[in-house]
Structures are given as structure tokens and as C-alpha cells.
């Protein structure tokens, strides 16, 4: 797990990890968090005694590289710090473990405040699965260590480091699976949705995706993700208005 100022959901995330995965060792690579992230991690280490924290001054590419170098088990899971695993996550994922499988990705369902449209979420799931085949993702992913032992992620990839890892596993001859009943719920931090940060994220996405990774096929899904961003902005504006109006 990579963290940086992740306290908004970290405790809930870790509870779901320990409830759903038999954790041999929880490897954390932290980007020198300034909030309560380290305090929360130390609380879980006191409780379970198997949290190891490393620090990295780089980006997601260098953090994931450092974390993978510390793995000792045959299989390991990447879990993002802002997600909650579905109940029985490991029981579900282990059904697809086979000798030719290198990674198993759980669908990442982004939660939008006050949005209850089943039609939108069905479309979201469909687009997410198609996007993953081009864009990759590691939100909640079980990975065979043997498939990534010789990997060297380009340090420039703050975004699309996940695509590089998934493509590396495929290039080694392994299958990457997307089971129908494996998923996590994704609660992005509020800071992701302000205009300034959204522009930074979009700029990095384009640079790492188009210029560095040549993931041109993913461009056809840009309109959907722009609409998704607009929905998030509307939902947050309505929520703020409701609080101010109340």
C-alpha cells in the first residue's frame, strides 16, 4: 500500500483489509505524510504487529517499485489507501488462482455522493472494465510475485505505473483476470475534485498516458470520465449547499 496524507479513509480501508485478507505483512510505502496517516498505521501495528513502513521521496512509480522489492510471499495484493474491499474479497479472488494467472483485478467502483442511478453505475462498470484492458489499474489487485520480480518501472510514471505493471505481467505470458464478483468501493479525497488539483491530475494523465505510455486507445473514454468529473463536482456542490442551507 502506498500512502501520502491518506488519513481521510485509511482506518476504514485497513479494517477492511484485515477483515478480508490473511495479512502476512502489511508493507506501507509512505510519501512523508503530514496528516494522521502514520499515527493510524502505528495504531494498526500495535494491534496486529505486522505493519512495516518505508518512506519514498519520489512518486507512485518509485513507491510501488520499492514496495514490491519487500514482498516475500508467492502472492501479494496491492490495495489503495482510499478504498474499502468487498466482503469476502480474498475468498472470492482465490477461486481464480491458477498456474497461468499473474494478476487478478477487482473492479473499482467510485462512489459519488447522493447518486443512486443504477443506470449510471451499470455504465460505469462497463466502461471501467474496458478501460482497465487499456489503462490498467491496481486499486485492489492480487499479483503473483514471480511475474514482477525483474520489473523496473520508469520513474517518470507518476500515473500509468499501474498500466506498466499490468502489461509487464502480460508480457511474461500470464493472464490478467477481472472476475465479475470481485470489487472495492473507492472514496476519493475531497481535494481531488477542486479545479486546481483536477487540472494537475488531467495534465499528468495526458503526459504519462499519451506521451510516455502511448495509451492512445484510452482517449476514446475521455468523454465519459469528463462527465464523471462533472457529476462529482455537482454532487459536492449540492452537498455543500445543503449544509450551508441547513
Cell 520489473 belongs to 151
The pLDDT score that the predictor gives to residue 217 is 87
**Each residue's pLDDT tens digit, 140-163:** 999 999 999 999 999 999 999 999
The pLDDT score that the predictor gives to residue 189 is 76
The model's pTM is 0.89
The pLDDT score that the predictor gives to residue 171 is 97
Relative to beta strand 83-85, strand 175-177 is unpaired
Q: Name the band, by pLDDT with cuts 50, 70 and 90, for residue 234.
A: confident
Count other Cβ atoms within 10 Å, centred on residue 114: 10
**Each residue's pLDDT tens digit, 104-116:** 999 999 887 777 7
Structural domains of the chain sorted by starting position, each given as residue range(s) with its CATH number in brackets: 71-245 (3.90.550)
Average pLDDT, the chain: 90
* Cα pseudo-dihedral 10, 182, 118, 162, rounded to 10: 60
Percentage of residues in the chain with pLDDT exceeding 70? Answer: 93
**Each residue's pLDDT tens digit, 168-187:** 999 999 999 999 999 999 99
- H or E stretch at 179: none
Higher pLDDT, 43 or 202: 43
Burial class of residue 30 in the structure, from the number of CB atoms within 10 Å of its CB (0-12 exposed, 13-18 middle, 19+ buried): buried
Residue of 164, 142, 144, 163 whose CA lies nearest to 153: 164
Residue of 33, 183, 7 whose CA lies nearest to 111: 183
Q: Name the band, by pLDDT with cuts 50, 70 and 90, for residue 242.
A: low
CA distances from 81 to 27, 74, 110 (A): 12, 22, 14
Amino acid at each position: 500500500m502506498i500512502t501520502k496524507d491518506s488519513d481521510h479513509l485509511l482506518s476504514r480501508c485497513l479494517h477492511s483489509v484485515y477483515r478480508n485478507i490473511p495479512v502476512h505483512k502489511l508493507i506501507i510505502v509512505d510519501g512523508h505524510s503530514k496528516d494522521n496517516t502514520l499515527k493510524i498505521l502505528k495504531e494498526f501495528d500495535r494491534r496486529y504487529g505486522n505493519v512495516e513502513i518505508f518512506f519514498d521521496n519520489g512518486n507512485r512509480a518509485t513507491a510501488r517499485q520499492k514496495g514490491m522489492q519487500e514482498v516475500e510471499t508467492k502472492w501479494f495484493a496491492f490495495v489503495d489507501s482510499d478504498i474499502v474491499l468487498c466482503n469476502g474479497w480474498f475468498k472470492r479472488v482465490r477461486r481464480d488462482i491458477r498456474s497461468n494467472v499473474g494478476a487478478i483485478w477487482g473492479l473499482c467502483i467510485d462512489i459519488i455522493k447522493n447518486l443512486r442511478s443504477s443506470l449510471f453505475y451499470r455504465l460505469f462498470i462497463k466502461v471501467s472494465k474496458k478501460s482497465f484492458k487499456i489503462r490498467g489499474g491496481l486499486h485492489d489487485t492480487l499479483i503473483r510475485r514471480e511475474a514482477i520480480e525483474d520489473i523496473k518501472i520508469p520513474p517518470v510514471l507518476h500515473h500509468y505505473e499501474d498500466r506498466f505493471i499490468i502489461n509487464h505481467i502480460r508480457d511474461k505470458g500470464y493472464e490478467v483476470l477481472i472476475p465479475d464478483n470481485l470489487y472495492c468501493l473507492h472514496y476519493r479525497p475531497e481535494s481531488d475534485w477542486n479545479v486546481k488539483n483536477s487540472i494537475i491530475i488531467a495534465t499528468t494523465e495526458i503526459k504519462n498516458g499519451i506521451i510516455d505510455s502511448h495509451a492512445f486507445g484510452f482517449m476514446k473514454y475521455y468523454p465519459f470520465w469528463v462527465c464523471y468529473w462533472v457529476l462529482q463536482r455537482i454532487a459536492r456542490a449540492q452537498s455543500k449547499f445543503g449544509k450551508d442551507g441547513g
